[in-house]
Structure 1
């Protein structure tokens, strides 16, 4: 078995797990890992100007394409604390990113050493797992666990902290014997699918709420098929926008606070049944929960068991990956439609289409200075159908969600729940690193732009 430094083994594992890009800032405590990356030359490194910026680049990279995992690298102490905002943002939106930090030598931990901080404890509340690796041979094993956790159940970020003497220590390691662990994804059963469709069949004015879990599962095509087979209109959440094209006949608009359509809100108020798939009932989507839930029955399908019932109790809850759920739901719905067992909701769908035609916000203003609504009207004309929009929070994002159009999954890349200022520019650069040919438009307010303005140098 080959002998090598633990960091050389780490780079081999990163390669085997599919990492091709990294974002970071070198520093003394992490430079051994950088030396290993340079020696191999297989992982492209983007030099950020701020470690928080690197973490947001990693997020944008992950969000841009199915299967991607962004890697963020920084040194000890403040580099790790700079990553916390990125970890929180990724955790809040179920985005897997891997953060690797350097650390003081093991013998100097808890000895007031320079830039030695218990980053694993600091990161734990906003990561699926955060660990300081204390044994050299555990470095590749810790990374194996990190990738397994990031990909399993509800996706999310992990931080792995490497003391410098652990990085430099020699271990025996055989990369040919290494295999990534298969991720765990719960799946809806046929019995559960039949129960859900039986409840749906009793509704007169049902809706499907499509959450970001559908995009995470790369299951947008299944969603569209399921909607078309059943004939049930779809309300995407802000994180699920693009899972069904804006101009699809069953796309009924977004609802909620700020990032919503008038027709989407009206349709939600008129509905009597809501089938939520891969969503979390976050407050920007629901607004007042009492108003949102009044007079309706609910099914909630989510990959995370503790998410079901967190905001309000559904009439039926099913723990399942959104893609696995949609596959079995589509199979059963197709059988039932063929056998004539599925209700006809075409009249309800036409009502929703009519609201979509008549309840639009005005955009064509002629005033000078130019009104924001007119700016977004012109953007819809100027930018192609497959344009990717990247944004975090603020009036620019709110107006974007109200007035722009999105037609594909991962063409609306939005930091939904955490919403840190400064996110947009580095996240857009991460999208660019993932896809050099994509048309990307970053929607950034003045303070958002200034927070991480140094990343312009990276662009």
Structure 2
């Protein structure tokens, strides 16, 4: 049950994870034995599929289905629960006759691509919103090529950050409430057309939906049908894998550009680039104690373009997204929606285990770091080195801010209550 937050986090961020749990013997289920719980029922709301396998011969088929579901359509976690007597059983299984199921991925048609580009062609100030689905699809190169052929600026989401390099002329900045750039917000407010690919219009990206959508038309391309129209209704919705969609859009856009049918947005792109140069937040502070902005300024100097940043929640995530620079896909490893405290360090160890040669810098506030002390021992035991930057948030950071606000309101209400009693 301790891993339910992890499953929720994976489901929210569209990350395929196979989770295998041990279970009490089948004969002891539903008898409230020690540490025997219906984990499949508990995990069901935060997993694409959760099952307790009750017959040994079903184990290969359950795992086959698990790998199929976790990678099909919108990726996500699955849980396979195995009673101990099922684990210990022997079955007949011919490995040579086994074939994995091909993941299901819907694809944009040519007709849909032509309709989308015709709508794009009618826009004066379009932007592409690049979501994490592009990175999941390994389609960052296709995004850059499509943006360059079309000449349309790109606004990545927090989960899509790195799909286009920060210093690319068409990277217009991130927008939203917290993890955003001033120039990204300004460009989004100025735009009249938004082409969303592999994103889900998360609230930290949109802020007020009324303000975000005012005066704009929208196309939404996403691999998950239920995401289309979930937050607001676009003028055109297309169910497609981001990579398949970008490939089709690139093919059609290249033909149209060659034939002179595609509009020229170079003036609009120059406007966006000018905002990017002039609307930067100040970072060069000389005060002591050091301001956090200066910490991130120095990090940009100290760490190279190939650095992988890992962070999860709070002021370190917000300030990291505002001030750091990311140049490659999967160089921003981030827990976007769930934001559980204590995620950063084990995630950094996971990145190191997956890639022994990567330059890894984890980023935490002081409170987040407290949840991870015991994980340091795991990193040392398995020899998984990385750099961890802990920023002093005056202890508890956002949590302390909220507590102070609540305490102030509570004290004021008590004062009024005392006055009324007197």
Q: TM-score, normalised by structure 1?
A: 0.82
Matches of 1:110 and 1:446, distance apart in 2: 42
Shift of 1:444: 1.0
Shift of 1:111: 1.2
Shift of 1:177: 1.3
Match of 1:383 among 293, 298, 303: 303
1:122 paired with 2:58, answer no
Q: Secondary structure at the match of 1:112?
A: coil
Shift of 1:450: 1.3
Q: Render the CA deviation track for 1:24-56: whole Å, top value 9, x for unaligned.
A: xxxxxxxxxxxxxxxxxxxxxxxxxxxxxxxxx
Q: Secondary structure at the match of 2:102?
A: coil
Matches of 2:348 and 2:145, distance apart in 1: 30
Q: Comparing 442-451 with 125-134, which one deviates more in the overlay?
A: 442-451
Matches of 2:373 and 2:340, distance apart in 1: 14
Q: Secondary structure at the match of 1:207?
A: strand
Give the greater-gyration-radius structure (CA).
2
Match of 1:303 among 208, 211, 223: 223
Matches of 1:130 and 1:430, distance apart in 2: 24
Matches of 2:141 and 2:32, distance apart in 1: 54
Match of 2:115 in 1: 195
Shift of 1:174: 1.3
Matches of 2:277 and 2:267, distance apart in 1: 15
Matches of 1:218 and 1:259, distance apart in 2: 23
Matches of 1:97 and 1:431, distance apart in 2: 15
Matches of 1:450 and 1:163, distance apart in 2: 35
Q: Secondary structure at the match of 2:18?
A: strand
Matches of 2:258 and 2:314, distance apart in 1: 47
Matches of 1:429 and 1:287, distance apart in 2: 33
Matches of 1:104 and 1:295, distance apart in 2: 58
Q: Secondary structure at the match of 1:458?
A: helix
Q: Secondary structure at the match of 1:444?
A: strand
Match of 1:55 in 2: none
Shift of 1:302: 0.2
Shift of 1:89: 0.4
Matches of 1:120 and 1:441, distance apart in 2: 35
Shift of 1:119: 0.2
Matches of 1:238 and 1:323, distance apart in 2: 18
Shift of 1:452: 2.7
Matches of 2:226 and 2:314, distance apart in 1: 30
Shift of 1:218: 0.3
Unaligned runs of 5+ in 2: 380-422
Q: Secondary structure at the match of 2:56?
A: coil
Shift of 1:255: 0.2
Matches of 2:124 and 2:150, distance apart in 1: 13
Match of 1:9 in 2: none
Q: Render the CA deviation track for 1:257-308: whole Å, top value 9, x for unaligned.
A: 1100000000000000000000000001000000000000000000000000
Q: Render the CA deviation track for 1:139-192: whole Å, top value 9, x for unaligned.
A: 111001000001100000001000001111110011121111110000000000
1:96 paired with 2:16, answer yes
Shift of 1:104: 0.5
Matches of 2:90 and 2:133, distance apart in 1: 41
Q: Secondary structure at the match of 1:160?
A: strand
Match of 2:183 in 1: 263
Q: Render the CA deviation track for 1:374-428: whole Å, top value 9, x for unaligned.
A: 0100000000110000000110111100000000000001000000000000011
Match of 1:82 in 2: 2
Matches of 1:371 and 1:110, distance apart in 2: 56
How many residues are treated as equivalent by the alignment? 379
The runs of at least 4 consecutive aligned structure 1 residues that moved more than 2 Å come to none
Shift of 1:114: 1.3
Shift of 1:445: 1.3
Match of 1:359 in 2: 279
1:141 paired with 2:61, answer yes
Shift of 1:458: 1.1
Shift of 1:448: 1.3
Q: Secondary structure at the match of 1:235?
A: strand
Q: Render the CA deviation track for 1:33-85: whole Å, top value 9, x for unaligned.
A: xxxxxxxxxxxxxxxxxxxxxxxxxxxxxxxxxxxxxxxxxxxxxxxx01101
Matches of 2:366 and 2:5, distance apart in 1: 19
Unaligned runs of 5+ in 1: 1-80
Matches of 2:358 and 2:238, distance apart in 1: 36
Q: Secondary structure at the match of 1:155?
A: coil
Q: Render the CA deviation track for 1:305-351: whole Å, top value 9, x for unaligned.
A: 00000000000000000000000000000000000000000000000
